[in-house]
Amino acid sequence: MAVAGGLKCVKFLLFFFNFLFWLCGITLIVVGVLVQVALHNTAVMKNASSSVAPLVVIGVGVVIFFVSFFGCCGAWKESYCMVTTFAILVSIIIIIEIAAAIGGYIFWGKLSGIVNDELKDMISKYKNGTRDFRKSIDNLQKCLNCCGMNSTADWKYLRKDKTSVPDSCCKNITQGCGNGNMHNDVVVYQKGCRIALEAFLRKNVLWVVIAALVIAFLQIMGVVFACLLMKGIRSGYEVM
């Protein structure tokens, strides 16, 4: 009877865990669809690349929805086949999440070089770049309150006077505020974007790695519950 009582507890824990997982899946699908509709209802976001993020969110939501479906139904009906399918699918997801965490750790080590190369390339292409390309760099400088890669001097080839910077470098942005003010610390931010961007990315990569490991740990607990229930079902114990 002690075994049956323990398995009954495992059964409801597994069901509750997967019900929450199922709700998360539905939420991700709804959010992804709403973002996709919102993007394609705006005049600016018509390119295919704008669909990548919401489609990834929808895809993750669908996977979570079906995986949790097997877990919920398997736990409730005490179906050995469904609980086994759930355990296998979650195990695959755990492996992918651990791989993502390892990838994040590797990216962490190479972050400084990647940021340096990307910013250098962006600044060199700014002058002859498209309006959208220039806007993305301007937004970066506005958000991080920075100018250039290492300092304002990185913009010395922007104009013939070699003392002008984009207006997005200004502390109070007005038309032409960057002209001739490269070394004017009252008007223009003097610090480069490399350190600020690197710090921002490191913070976000760290949270992604932590989140992946925490979720993987919770999912391992789900697999453990599933294996215990599978063992009970296979042994023929009554868990109702």
In a domain, 129, yes or no: yes
Q: Which range marks the domain in which residue 102 is found?
A: 2-151+191-235
In a domain, 59, yes or no: yes
In a domain, 205, yes or no: yes
Cα gap 7→18, rounded to integer Å? 16
In a domain, 228, yes or no: yes
In a domain, 69, yes or no: yes
pTM of the model: 0.55
In a domain, 177, yes or no: no
In a domain, 172, yes or no: no
Token digits of residue 10: 């495992």
Site of tokens 């019900």: 19
In a domain, 200, yes or no: yes
Token digits of residue 180: 């001739």
pLDDT at 198: 82
Counted domains in the chain: 1
pLDDT at 83: 81
Cα gap 32→135, rounded to integer Å? 26
pLDDT at 38: 53
pLDDT at 93: 77
Which residues in the chain show pLDDT less than 70? Answer: 1-7, 28, 31-32, 35-57, 60, 97, 100-101, 103-104, 107-108, 111, 204-212, 215, 236-240
pLDDT at 209: 64
